[in-house]
Amino acid sequence: MTGVELDPVEIQVLQDLTILVFAPFVSGAIAHLGARLQGRRGPRVLQPYYDIAKLFRKETLVPEEASWVFLAGPVVAFACYLTVPLLIPVLTQYPLPLGYMGDILGGGFILSLAGFAVALAALESGDPYAQLGSSRAMTFGALIQPSILFVTFTVALVTATDLPYFEAAAVRSSLGQAIAPAHLLAAVAFFLVVLSDTGRIPVETHASTLEFGMIDEARTFEHSGPALALLKWGAAMKQLILYVILINVFAAPWGEAGSRQVGAVLLAIPAFIGKALGVGVIFAVIDNSFSKLRLFKITEFMAVAFLLAVLAVLVLFLGAR
Amino acid sequence: MAALGTSPSTLTDAADVIALLVLLSEFAMLRSSLSRSQVRLYGFQSLCVSVLAGFVAATQHIGELYGLMGLSFVLKVIVVPMVILRLVREVRVDVTASHRLGVATMVLLAIVLSVFGVFVVGRLPVHSHSLPILALGLAAAVILVAFLLVIVRNDVVSQAIGFFSLENGVSVASLVLAAGLPLIVEVAFLFDLLVAVVVFGLLMRVHQGRSRTLSTRALDRLRG
Amino acid sequence: MGAILVAILVAPFVVSLACLKVPLVVAKALSLVSGAASFGLAVALVPSHEVTTALSGWLRVDALSVVFLVAVTFLYAATAVFAVGYIQPGGGAAEVRYSRRFFAGLNLFAWAMAMTPIVNGLALLWVAVEVTTVVSALLVAIGDTDGAAEAAWKYVLIASMGLGIALLATMFMYYAGSTVLGGSYELFYSRLLGAAPRFPPEIVRLSFGLAVLGFGTKMGLVPVHTWLPDAHSEAPTPVSALLSGALLTVSFYAILRFYQVTVRAIGPAFPRDVLLVFGLASLVLAALYLASQRDLKRLLGYSSIEHMGILAIGMSFSAPIAIVGVLLHVLAHAAAKSTAFFGAGNVIRKFGTKDMDRIQGAVGALPLSGPMFLLAILALSAMPPFGIFRSEFLIVEGGLSTRATALSAVLIVLVTLAFFGLSWYASQTLLTPTSDSVAPGEVSPWMAGSMVLGLLALVVLGVHPPAQLSGLLERAAAELGARR
């Protein structure tokens, strides 16, 4: 074999960088496509980068009553979003050294911590809409948790571990595994979880300016400057992280590097971004084909996700006999 | 525990997925708020059941089941939904079905029932050649959810659909348990169902004719 | 002998079709003949010691079947007599259509119920019971009133759901059989009974539980009885009599068939417990509800629930003598309950209401059927010398013989409680002074005459059952697996 082999640590850093760098790009692409589907020209694909760059140049305003938590929140959240890519298969089929550090639940905890930090910061601001947003976000986050748990159980029952790498390997192992009912159910359930966690229709209008329907978006109302930049960037990263889990664990774990060759690993980056954009297209289409649910109807959506996740476990329960 | 590599045959998986669709359409019926969409869901569910019958016929080489599949297809996918849809169209009032509980509560209750059904089946020493045991568990879940549907809905269309879909659940169970059942018996069952459908239709019409509505809320005179 | 079965299978069906076309008088005559003939044929089967089969095994009658066949056909005959008076000639086209449909439905209903004990195998049994459901639902709705529509809807929905469960029970039993008999076989009783000891016990248990729940819905066991009082009160009176006396017992017959297989497979302990729970619940609830009724036919409906509870408890004693008592109770209850409903029919026709508050002094108003109604109520409350006294006595004796003393005591207390409820209301409507506005006199000689049949049967069953009949009951009890 020719070519330079990368150190696992280098690959790990590369995974993080991939998420960090390309997250605004994927967000921008989805926003662009969504606008096109509505017959508008839409923002440029690279617009999120400009936004973030502009925000970093601006000054930070802090409400009078706010304490240090107001500014620490965005930073903590951003740090969390940088940690999670270490645990999940972004570019490689094989587990990296830190991949054993945390399982799906671990990743979930870190993501929740990020959400918690943002919510705290929003509460500190004293702005009623921000508080409304964070209380809603925490409520719906809690409601979607059971689904995530049962998806995790499914993974654990299939692979006897709940490390994301192994579920992906199980799916790759045979086509039969990919279309096994339990796997399909868990994948669809997780798809709904992603839909909810990334604030997409039918749970939330992503780019709305109507405060009453807002959940996640409302939380950043009082933030400005670099803090807001971190929040926006973090939200994009969270979205891409969830896409990674959806794509590289459940739906299509093909195309990642099987070796440590530089070429293979570097090739995995465009492959992954391509898949992420593919998922983005699906989300954009959903965004444009359905209407937002009324706030009190969102629980129905959560119930569906939960139903699918529970069924996945039930299927495994009887299938094991 | 299904370890890596011991993946069961793709055929069985396909049957499992179809059986899952039967259950999912039952859940959809439970939450759907339009009578019309409920009837269509029933048609879809019956289609899945027919496909399962065809699947068993093909894999077990039971020629009689093809006939049964055809019959149940014509009856349950075409005739019954058409008849009920016509009734709903004629009424023109309150085609939205009613709920006694919130949708999320209903779905959660139904999930609990499904889990119960599957676990009960899981404890049974059933070994079927025709379909995976999962189909039996799902059939039990369908039956229980159908009961819930009849209980929490108060309009005659939903209640009738609840009964018909219960029958679908029993059909799936019978495919698992009694695929070799003699044809004459199967035909007798189906004939009975036909008669039941006629009676349901008749009574729905009587009810509609008397109270100008399909809601059962008026049916509270007899008690005690 | 096989020809008898075919005759019972064909005659009422043909008559039913004919009733749609012929004039009313002919329809009445045909129904009378068909009812009497069916009963005669059924009685002819009583002395037979062997199992009769026909139509290459699809029809099969053993002692157990004969007991229920006699009950059903007796009611068929008595109801035909009552219906002749109940449906009055004349009227416009609507009335003619109504009476045609009524007689066609009545014969079809009787046909379906007579078919149930005749057909061979659990599968056809289910089919027959389902046919009885749809036919009787239409008969309940035939009055075309708000109450009838409501009762019919509840009835058909609840009973059909129950039968769905019963179908599931049948499937599980089929599966249990297929583990021994192979993939494809007819669900004939003899084959099932032969192979039953090798059935997987869990499946049989589940199947029996589902069967009691499913068929119990049609039998009126608490808590799945809720359709029963409505349907009984809203149906035309002859239909109520058939519902209560025949339909409920036929459903009980279906449970007994499952019981038969289950006892062979896993012994009497499990079926005993299941029947006991349902039976006690029925008895308790019925005894309580009997004390708070306003509607005469509803009252009798709850009394039916009470007696179904007694049947279930009697089976749960599983002593031979108790099982003989249960089977005798089936016959006696059919006779007593139909007579009571006929009496209620007379009273309701006379006073033009079902509301017991507005019925006063029925005994004075109806010189013949009034007292007979009173006697029927006493018979239902297990007074000697009527058949129910003997049957309940046997059941309690069976309970005591298996040392189920406490249970027997509970049974007696509850039956007494029910007696108070029933006789209190009956005396309120029957024995109070008659108001002057009501002229004494019978409504119809047919309607009064039909009651004589039932009372006669009750006295025969109570005072001295014919030896042939006692032999039949004992053979049937033996078939049910009663220990000797």
Residues from chain B contacting residue C167 (CB–CB below 8 Å)? 167, 170, 174, 189
Contacts of C95 (CB under 8 A, 6+ apart): none
Percentage with pLDDT > 90 across chain C = 54
Cβ–Cβ gap B10/A321 under 8 Å: no
Residues from chain B contacting residue A176 (CB–CB below 8 Å)? 7-10, 13
Locate tokens 């008592």: which residue?
C325
User: Reduced to 3 states, what is the DSSP secondary structure of residue B207?
Assistant: helix
Chain C interface, best mutation among B177, B183, B202, by max C CB count within 10 A = B177
Domain-located, residue A104: yes
Locate tokens 């399962």: which residue?
B52
pLDDT digits (tens, 9 = 90+) for C443-476: 888 999 999 999 999 999 999 889 999 999 999 9
In chain B, the residue whose alpha carbon lies closest to the alpha carbon of C205 is B124
Cα–Cα distance measured from residue C146 to residue C127, given in angstroms and rounded to the nearest whole number: 30
> Average pLDDT over chain C, rounded to whole?
90
Residue B181, judged by CB atoms within 10 A of its CB (0-12, 13-18, 19+), counts as buried
pLDDT digits (tens, 9 = 90+) for C237-257: 999 999 999 999 999 999 999
Cα–Cα distance measured from residue A89 to residue C459, given in angstroms and rounded to the nearest whole number: 87
CA neighbor of B130 nearest in space, from C204, C210, C171: C171
Q: Burial letters for C321-347: b for 16+ Cβ neighbours within 10 Å, e otherwise?
A: bbbbbbbbbbbbbbbbbbbbbbbbbbb
* Chains adjacent to C (≥3 CB pairs closer than 8 angstroms): B
Contacts of A106 (CB under 8 A, 6+ apart): A87
Two structure tokens written together for A111: 């993501």
Locate tokens 């005469």: which residue?
C296
Residues from chain A contacting residue B137 (CB–CB below 8 Å)? 314, 318
Residues from chain B contacting residue C234 (CB–CB below 8 Å)? 222
pLDDT digits (tens, 9 = 90+) for A282-310: 988 888 888 777 777 788 888 889 999 99
- Residue A35 domain boundaries: 8-145+210-295
Domain-located, residue A304: no
Band of residue B6 on the pLDDT scale cut at 50, 70, 90: very low
Q: Which three-class secondary structure string do you get for chain C?
A: CHHHHHHHHHHHHHHHHHHCCCCHHHHHHHHHHHHHHHHHHHHHHCCCCCCEEECCCCEEECHHHHHHHHHHHHHHHHHHHHHHHHCCCCCCHHHHHHHHHHHHHHHHHHHHHHHHHHECCHHHHHHHHHHHHHHHHHHHHCCCCHHHHHHHHHHHHHHHHHHHHHHHHHHHHHHHHHHHHCCCCCCCHHHHHHHHHHCCHHHHHHHHHHHHHHHHHHHCCCCCCCHHHHHHHHCCHHHHHHHHHHHHHHHHHHHHHHHHHHHHHHCCHHHHHHHHHHHHHHHHHHHHHHHHCCEHHHHHHHHHHHHHHHHHHHHHHCCHHHHHHHHHHHHHHHHHHHHHHHHHHHHHHHHCCCEHHHCCCHHHHCCCHHHHHHHHHHHHCCCCCCHHHHHHHHHHHHHHHCCCHHHHHHHHHHHHHHHHHHHHHHHHHHCCCCCCCCCCCCCCHHHHHHHHHHHHHHHHHHHCCCHHHHHHHHHHHHHCCCCC
Contacts of C136 (CB under 8 A, 6+ apart): C109, C155, C231, C235, C239, C242, C243, C247
Cα–Cα distance measured from residue C184 to residue C317, given in angstroms and rounded to the nearest whole number: 36
Cβ–Cβ gap C146/B221 under 8 Å: yes
CA–CA distances in Å: residue A183 to residues A102, A164, A187, C68: 22, 13, 6, 54
Q: Strand C52-54 and strand C59-61: pairing?
A: antiparallel
Per-residue pLDDT averaged across C366-372, rounded?
Answer: 89
Two structure tokens written together for A252: 């299509």
Higher pLDDT: C405 or C67? It is: C67
User: What is the structure's pLDDT at C110?
Assistant: 95
Residues from chain B contacting residue C184 (CB–CB below 8 Å)? 180-182
Would you say residue C340 has pLDDT above 90? yes
Closest Cβ–Cβ partner in B10, B31, B119 for A176: B10
Cβ–Cβ gap B126/C187 under 8 Å: no
In chain B, the residue whose alpha carbon lies closest to the alpha carbon of C124 is B185
Band of residue A126 on the pLDDT scale cut at 50, 70, 90: confident
**φ/ψ of residue A253, rounded to 5:** -80, 50
Would you call B127 an interface residue with chain A, using a CB distance cutoff of 8 Å?
no
Residues from chain C contacting residue B210 (CB–CB below 8 Å)? 144, 146, 149
Cβ–Cβ gap A180/B114 under 8 Å: no
Cβ–Cβ gap B118/A314 under 8 Å: yes
Would you say residue C484 has pLDDT above 50? no
Higher pLDDT: B140 or C361? It is: B140
Higher pLDDT: C74 or B132? It is: C74
CA neighbor of A246 nearest in space, from A280, A203, A270: A280
Band of residue B95 on the pLDDT scale cut at 50, 70, 90: low
Domain-located, residue C96: no
pLDDT digits (tens, 9 = 90+) for C2-46: 888 899 889 999 999 999 888 889 999 999 999 999 999 999 999
User: What is the structure's pLDDT at B42?
Assistant: 93
User: What is the structure's pLDDT at C342?
Assistant: 94
* Chains adjacent to A (≥3 CB pairs closer than 8 angstroms): B
Count Cβ atoms below 10 Å from residue B92 Cβ, excluding itself.
Answer: 7
Interface predicted TM-score (ipTM) over 0.85 = yes
Q: Burial letters for B104-132: b for 16+ Cβ neighbours within 10 Å, e otherwise?
A: bebbbbbbebbbebbeebbebebebebbb
CA neighbor of B13 nearest in space, from A308, A177, A252: A177
pLDDT digits (tens, 9 = 90+) for A139-184: 888 888 888 888 888 888 887 777 888 888 888 877 777 778 888 8
Two structure tokens written together for A116: 């918690």
Domain-located, residue C226: no
Would you say residue B195 has pLDDT above 80? no
CA C73 remoteness from chain centre: 11
- Residue C356 domain boundaries: 268-484
Q: Are C292 and C236 in contact (CB under 8 A)?
A: no
User: What is the structure's pLDDT at B7?
Assistant: 42
Would you say residue B218 has pLDDT above 80? no
List the single range of A16-20, B120-124, C259-263 with lowest mean pLDDT: B120-124
Structural domains of chain A, count: 1
Chain C interface, best mutation among B203, B204, B220, by max C CB count within 10 A = B203
pLDDT digits (tens, 9 = 90+) for B98-132: 667 778 888 889 999 999 999 988 888 888 877 88
The pTM of this model reads: 0.88
- DSSP letter for A41, please: -
pLDDT digits (tens, 9 = 90+) for C110-147: 999 999 999 998 888 998 998 999 899 889 888 778 88
Cα–Cα distance measured from residue C242 to residue C248, given in angstroms and rounded to the nearest whole number: 9
Structural domains of chain C, count: 1
Would you say residue B214 has pLDDT above 60? yes
Among A213-217, B163-167, C75-79, C123-127, the range of highest mean pLDDT = C75-79
End-to-end CA distance of chain A: 45
